[in-house]
Amino acid sequence: MVGNVEELGLENTRAQVEKGHLLVDQWSRTDEPGLYAIGDVAGPPWLAHKASHEGVACVERIAGLPDARALDPGAVPSCIYSHPQVASVGLTEAQARAQGFTVTVGRFPFAGNGKALSLGDTDGMIKTVFDESSGELLGAHMVGPDVTELIATYATARSLETTESELMHTIFPHPTLSEGLHESVLAAFGRTLHI
């Protein structure tokens, strides 16, 4: 996918285009003063929620709000609305290892989740990836029922720099699909409750 950057007069600006995308900094600024770019034209991931967040952050920075925050690309959840659904946020296990992390990984199948059993939708699993030394949640990946809704929990946890210990001590309601998130964290430390 590429952004629609043709016939905009960009050749008369300092803005740089590479592989069909405008090059921007963390605040969506191009090299042309006063010219900003968000969304698909600013590059992947090509997701509406990423573009909305970029737009808000950009405008807050322009307005001079003291609590404006640039987009953290590792905090953008990815969702595929298929059957089963697929969702993820952060690093994969392979990416984390490639970046030099020693990881602890938890997996929990929806076949062990009471709500998934009652829905008759037990295909899939939840996987969590933690930095072994700090306990930081590096990534989470899910396939299964309503995971495009559930991923927000892990996205929030990453944003708040939540550790595995804090997630293990969080109370998840029963019976819910979200219990699978808790079980995946517990599984990383050999402490699952329901399988």
The residues assigned a catalytic role are: 174
Contact between 124 and 142 (Cβ < 8 Å): yes
Q: Give the C-alpha separation, 99 to 92, whole Å.
A: 11
How many whole angstroms separate alpha carbon 86 and alpha carbon 31? 36
* Distance, CA of 34 to chain centre: 29
Closest CA to 87 of 37, 28, 152, 31: 152
Residues 6+ apart with CB under 8 A from 87: 77, 78, 79, 80, 141, 142, 147, 148, 150, 151
